[in-house]
Structure 1
Amino acid sequence: MDKDYLNSLIDKLLKNDISKDQFVTYLTGIFSDEFKFDTNRKLRLGFHEFIFGESKTIQQLIEIISSLEKNRIPFICTKLSDEKIDVISKKFPEVEAIPEAGMVRYFFTPPSPKKGEVAIITAGSSDIPIAKEAMFTLDSCGIKSKIFADVGVAGVHRFFNIKDQLYSYDILIVVAGMEGALPSLVAGLFPQPIIAIPTSIGYGTALNGFTALFAMLTSCANGVTVVNINNGFGAAMAAFRILQNKYREDTDV
């Protein structure tokens, strides 16, 4: 259980920064006919519920964000089109828009810094939007990260120019489309956990990311963890869970 978060809620209640109803909402959830928000996920798992925005209508997103903001529930929303981000930004000016990552987010207090740092390595510059989705997701959880872009195997000398810098990071997230070769190279050189993200970048037989996905799943480098195509958010959350476990100070769940 996230004791720091629970104590912060109690402090806010005692200082009248949040109401009794809001305190109960944090512990139990927001429920409506259409949406049921898991607002106490932070207490159980250390991170807030996040919203997958791609398949939701603009009206649904407005209703969700209105409810969360009213109850001062922090959130990030991923996989948003420029149109959705534009509408949300105009209606909710206090919500931070991150169009380069296809995200918006809102925190009434900044996330507390956590231990650990993550390097996010992209094979090409076309993979950067997915890398930024991972970076801003980690940032929303209080984890520092840095992107090392455009160092794929087509110009492998570029990768070796950054090689020495990567040893200082706790986890390496590797983002690649085309044939998806870069995670195997990285995993053959570094001892850290490797999380691979296949992207939908590539020509015809790249199959919108399936070729990279299959290549990463069949990597001969041992212990590569692979998330779904274009899932920068999922890779970031996997890294967050690893770091939470690595740096936890007690055995409470």
Structure 2
Amino acid sequence: MRPGKTVVITQSNYLPWRGYFDLIRSADEVILLDSVQYTRRDWRNRNRIKTPAGLAWLTISVEAKGRYEQAIDETHIADPAWCDTHIRSIELAYRRAAGFEAISPWLFAAMRSTAREPLLAQVNEVLLREICKALAIEVPITRCTDVLPREDLRRMEPTERLLALAEARGATCYLSGPSAKAYLDVDRFAAQGIAVAWMDYGGYPDYPQLWGAFEPAVSIVDLLLNVGDAAPRYLARQPA
């Protein structure tokens, strides 16, 4: 019997929420599926923070007009000043937060290291890896195009693509977010000896947060800047 291996396959997001990092830490390997089509008004290039005036978007403008078929990892950044703008917004919203002095130096350094990067997926990946380090998440992260050829991946339909990637990495379990229940053919995974498990995003504990009532659907930077080095404990879901 082969040893158990749980694989997560997901698109890269910009400074995603804590559930994304909980998903990653639940895996033995994560594959970034950025060869698929870029979707507008999604989490690939934006996320939200809390401010004194309420929730606010941090958005990286991208070159998308007329490029309806472009992949996430082919999507170019349109605004070279995005980094300075986002850092300033974070400073204004969180400079009074308990974890600001501990977190902001490395977070802002990571953001500045990507400021001249032309591709959105590269920015997302760099920040993802740095935040994983801060959260003590030591899970290998692999690009899908380092697993299978890009053209092969493009020809596949969604379930076939995910199954091929999972098989190529020796998965015994494919862990997915619940939204995939709408299209994933679980029986095809079972036929190849791969179990499918669904991530449960319920039960995360509240944490000390600035600016009014608790808001869970915000970027991981909110958690990091509010609680500092205690952030990993807030990734664990509370028993029902």
TM-score (norm 2): 0.29
TM-score (norm 1): 0.28
User: Which structure is richer in relative contact order (CA contacts within 8 A, separation 6 or more)?
Assistant: 2
Larger Rg: 1
